Structure 1
Amino acid sequence: MLTVDFEHLPVGPGNRVLDLGCGGGRHAFEVLRRGADVVAFDQDAAELENVANMFAAMDKAGEVPPGATAETTVGDALAMPFDDESFDRVIAAEVLEHIPDDMAAMREIVRVLKPGGRAAITVPSFLPERICWALDEDYHTAPGGHVRIYTLAELRAKLKSAGLEVGPHHHAHGLHSPYWWLKCAVGVNNDDHPLAQAYHKLLVWDIMERPAITRLAESVLNPLIGKSVVVYARKPA
């Protein structure tokens, strides 16, 4: 399930791409499939071990274009172990809402981007996130959880302040917002609730099969209640 639209963030052979806070590696895998060199970066070493195993499996299955490389690096988003101007692209998907000093993380993104390099930043959208916070305190108070809710205006202003030229944006995962509202209504940690389980099966079906009816529904829902907002930006040349 991709949040970033790679038509807005083109990647390919010759690009070095940082997936900052890569988590399970969903965007890193797509970057590698497109032939770019990718660095999957996260503070969770165990998660990165799984990502590295998937990189190896992709290579064995012939899914990695010739010349493309992939590596994993453990570290802190506030002090990344990379040289200045060392990446053509940076992806930071659902990361900044977890970081108390988000401006420091944004400055690090700018630091490691090459002049003219592009970034895709995604965070939870304001309205769906605000409803989740209101429905269940456990949603955002768990260790490592979300520490803020961004408005689009705030996110754009902070990215500009960090030194980026802010471009287009869009919303994603409109079908996922009702699922999380339902989860919060019944208890975000209540994985056994039948309604939550049924909706989860719907989402899995959508992700795996991508039927036309759910694709159409999501395209209608995204501008209204998309769970994530994606902002694309560029470091001035």
Structure 2
Amino acid sequence: MLTVDFDRLPVGPGLRVLDLGCGAGRHAFEVLRRGADVVAFDMDAEELEGVAGMFAAMAKEGEVPEGAVGETVTGDALKMPFEDATFDRVIAAEVLEHIPDDMSAMREIFRVLKPGGRAAITVPSFLPERICWALDEAYHTAPGGHVRIYTLAELSAKLKAVGMEIGSHHHAHGLHAPYWWIKCAVGVGNDDHPLAKAYHELLVWDIMKRPAVTRIAETLLNPFIGKSVVLYVRKPA
């Protein structure tokens, strides 16, 4: 399930891409499939082991174009172990809302981008996130949880303040917002609730089958209740 639109953030052979806070690696895998070199970067060394294993499996199955390399690096988003101007692209998907000092993380993204490089920054959308916070305090108070709710204007202003040029934006995962509202309503840790389980099965079916009916529904819902907002920015040349 991708949040970033790779038509708006083109990647391919000859480019070096950082997937910051990569988690399980969903965007890193797509970058590698498109032939770019990718660094999957995260604080969770155990999760990165799974990402490295998938990189190896993709190569074995012939899913990696010749010359493309995927690697994993463990570290802190506030002090990344990379030289200035290392990457052509940076992806930071659902990361900044977890970081108290988000401006320092944004400055690091700016620093490691090459002049003229582009980044895709995704965070939870304001309205769906605000509803989750209102329904269940545990949703955002758990260790490692969300520490703020961004408006698009705030996110844009902060990125502009560190030097980025602000580009286009869109919303994603309109079908996922109701799932999280259900989860928060019944208790965010209550995975066995029948309604939550049923909606989760719907989402899995949608991800696996991509039927036209849910694709159309999500396209219609995204501008209003898309769970994520994606902002594309550029470091001036």
Class of the TM-score when normalised by the shorter of the 2 chains? over 0.9
Alignment of 1:202 onto 2:208: no
- Mapping 1:94-109, distance limit 5 Å: 94-109=94-109
- The aligned residue for residue 23 of structure 2 is 23
Shift of residue 164 of structure 1? 0.3
Shift of residue 163 of structure 1? 0.7
- The aligned residue for residue 153 of structure 1 is 153
Q: Find the residue that maps to 2:18 and give its secondary structure.
A: strand
Runs of 4+ in 1 over 6 A off after TM superposition: none
Alignment of 1:184 onto 2:184: yes
Distance 1:163 1:75 in 2: 24
- The aligned residue for residue 85 of structure 2 is 85
Q: Find the residue that maps to 2:156 and give its secondary structure.
A: helix
Q: Deviations over 1:141-166 (max 9, x none)?
A: 00000000000000000000011001
Q: Deviations over 1:91-132 (max 9, x none)?
A: 000000000000000000000000000000000000000000
Distance 2:70 2:127 in 1: 36
Q: Deviations over 1:181-231 (max 9, x none)?
A: 000000000000000000000000000000000000000000000000000
- The aligned residue for residue 39 of structure 1 is 39
- The aligned residue for residue 228 of structure 1 is 228
Shift of residue 170 of structure 1? 0.1
Distance 2:41 2:184 in 1: 30
- The aligned residue for residue 5 of structure 2 is 5
Alignment of 1:171 onto 2:171: yes
1:180 alignment partner AA: W
Distance 2:70 2:191 in 1: 34
Give the gaps of 5 or more residues in structure 1. Answer: none
Shift of residue 69 of structure 1? 0.3
2:207 alignment partner AA: I
- The aligned residue for residue 63 of structure 1 is 63
Percent of residue pairs identical: 83
Q: Find the residue that maps to 1:230 and give its secondary structure.
A: strand
- Mapping 1:106-117, distance limit 5 Å: 106-117=106-117
Q: Find the residue that maps to 1:91 and give its secondary structure.
A: strand
- The aligned residue for residue 136 of structure 2 is 136
Distance 1:162 1:93 in 2: 18
Distance 2:191 2:116 in 1: 45
2:160 alignment partner AA: K
- The aligned residue for residue 212 of structure 1 is 212
Q: Deviations over 1:52-100 (max 9, x none)?
A: 0000000000000000001000000000000000000000000000000
TM-score, scaled to structure 2: 1.00
Q: Find the residue that maps to 1:188 and give its secondary structure.
A: coil
Distance 1:61 1:138 in 2: 41
Distance 1:77 1:94 in 2: 13
1:218 alignment partner AA: E
1:195 alignment partner AA: L
